[in-house]
Amino acid sequence: MKTKITIVLAALFVGLNMSYAQQDEECMNNLSIFDSYVKSKKYDDAYEPWKIVRNKCPRFNRAIYAHGEKILMHKIKNSSGADQVAHINDLMLLYDQSRENFKSKYDLGEILEDKANLAYKYKKELGKSNQELYDKFNEAYTKDAKNFTNPKALYTYFSLAVDLFDAGKMPAQDMFDKYDDVNEIIEGIVETNTVKLNKYAAKEEAGETLSKKDAKRKSSYESYIDAFDTKIIPSMDKKLGDRATCDVLIPLYQKSFEEKKNDKVWLQRAMNRMYAKGCKEDPLFLKLVEQKNSIQPTADTAYYLYLLTGEQKYFDQTLELQPDPLKKAKLYKKLANELKSKGSYGKARQYYMESMKLNPSDGSPYIAIAAMYAKSANNCGDTNFNKRAVFWLAASTAEKAGRIDGRLKSAASKSAASYRASAPSKSDIFTAGNSGQTIKIGCWIGRSVTVPSI
């Protein structure tokens, strides 16, 4: 349960029906007592007065549920056997009661995922099977996917699907579908938070200094996105592992193609998975793309056709069919990554820059551009000094990533330090006698760099 209220004693009673409060002085007094104990983390002392209010006045104040969760969590952690199971079940009941008595404050998906997380954490104590646990998370997904957003819950939900597949209790297609279900939820969460984050990135790009409040919000959005991008999704991919190699996917999709060839969702997911797993060279990938394009052209199908044919018209169609700026930014970055892997660095940089125009809080394209500069150093200078000078450009470019994207601050700093270590030293600058001068870098880079003054 998210603790959605920060409680100070004065605030506890805001909005309370005072005539009701006066009629039940016992609840008022005990609310004040258990609130004070909880603030001091004296959860055992808080337990009895909390129970009185919970049982006698269940709608008296939301602190019953916000504080009640902390009290029962303490009881669970500090008990064992039948007592512990009783406290676990009581917390399950409390979650239900919180929604029953304050429905507008507690979303169904949130409550169901909290109950599922609790059951999973104490699965041994409760004697729950993987199927029973999966069903609990699946209830949250099927009844209120919009509010099923907890990172840990989403990962556990998918992880249990893989465990059921391994045990022969879930078909491969259902497991892959569950990966896509969870991934789509995550994409929606990340997109929502990225839109919020970009507002602050735009302010900083314009030279504004964020207030402490805005800086805190920006950091919060970055952390939330980072949790999914660097922890949850990679963990899901690792869990999926070799269960989704081309050797597994191709026969599976070939077998189902005739039956599913008019199923737009199935075609889209099959295409995406084959592309993600590097199966795009197989004829089946083209077959899937062409079929999807014939019944429902989308930005994705146009993009895949562009990759397969290299025809500019398909890339133009990709952009036309994708009105969402963040999704368009992803397409630009995806194409840039493809071009980078093929060594088409100039074109890749162009698309990385287009991606950042649409999603200014994503600094990863600068990391990629810096890496391309570094890799090209030996080919883009006429002297040994000038070749090594490219590393200064790589370093400054990597640093830009850290400035606009707090999630990359550490990685950007390490990359920049590594590049600077390969650049000319002070003694090299002294020997060359070009301190403070500007060096023009040729080939595809076409940039200038200033030699540090010594």
Q: How confident is the model at residue 270 (pLDDT cuts 50, 70, 90)?
A: very high
Q: What is the DSSP letter of 231?
A: I
- Amino acid 7: pLDDT: 39
Query: What's the CA angle centered on 332, arms 326 and 223, to 5 degrees?
Result: 45
- Helices and strands: H and E segment counts in the chain: 24, 2
- Amino acid 11: pLDDT: 43
Kindly report, residue by residue over 399-453, the tens digit of the pLDDT.
Answer: 999 998 989 999 999 999 999 999 999 999 999 889 999 999 999 999 999 999 9
Tokens, residue 225: 């996105």
- Amino acid 20: pLDDT: 47
pLDDT(18) > 70:
no
pLDDT(205) > 80:
no
- Amino acid 307: pLDDT: 87
Section 242-250 average pLDDT: 94
pTM, rounded to two decimals: 0.81
Q: How confident is the model at residue 312 (pLDDT cuts 50, 70, 90)?
A: confident
Section 139-158 average pLDDT: 96
Tokens, residue 235: 């963990």
- Mean predicted lDDT score pLDDT of the chain: 92
pLDDT(9) > 70:
no
Tokens, residue 92: 């399950």
- Amino acid 381: pLDDT: 84
Q: What is the DSSP letter of 408?
A: G
Q: How confident is the model at residue 3 (pLDDT cuts 50, 70, 90)?
A: very low
- Which residues make beta-bridge pairs with 158? none
Section 179-204 average pLDDT: 92
Kindly report, residue by residue over 59-87, the tens digit of the pLDDT.
Answer: 999 999 999 999 999 999 999 999 999 99
Section 108-136 average pLDDT: 97
Q: How far is CA 143 from CA 34, 111, 138, 244, 374, in A?
A: 34, 11, 8, 28, 50
Kindly report, residue by residue over 156-180, the tens digit of the pLDDT.
Answer: 999 999 999 999 999 999 999 999 9
- Which residues make beta-bridge pairs with 438? 450
Section 125-153 average pLDDT: 97
The angle that helices 384-404 and 364-376 make with each other, rounded to 10 degrees, is 170
Instruction: Write the DSSP assignment of 317-337 as a string of letters.
Output: HHHHT---HHHHHHHHHHHHH
pLDDT(44) > 70:
yes
Q: How confident is the model at residue 43 (pLDDT cuts 50, 70, 90)?
A: very high
17 or 150, greater pLDDT: 150
Tokens, residue 323: 């009105």
- Amino acid 23: pLDDT: 46
Tokens, residue 82: 């039948």
- Amino acid 285: pLDDT: 97
Q: How confident is the model at residue 1 (pLDDT cuts 50, 70, 90)?
A: low
Q: Are 150 and 182 in contact (CB under 8 A)?
A: no
Tokens, residue 288: 């899937």
- What are the residues whose beta carbons fall under 8 Å from the beta carbon of 374, sequence distance 6 or more? 390, 391, 394, 419, 422
Section 282-297 average pLDDT: 95
Alpha helices in 206-344 (DSSP H): 212-226, 233-240, 246-260, 264-276, 283-295, 299-309, 312-320, 325-341
- Amino acid 24: pLDDT: 81
Question: How far does Cα 11 stand from its chain's mean position?
Answer: 34
pLDDT(15) > 70:
no
pLDDT(6) > 80:
no
Tokens, residue 269: 């997911």
Section 275-293 average pLDDT: 94
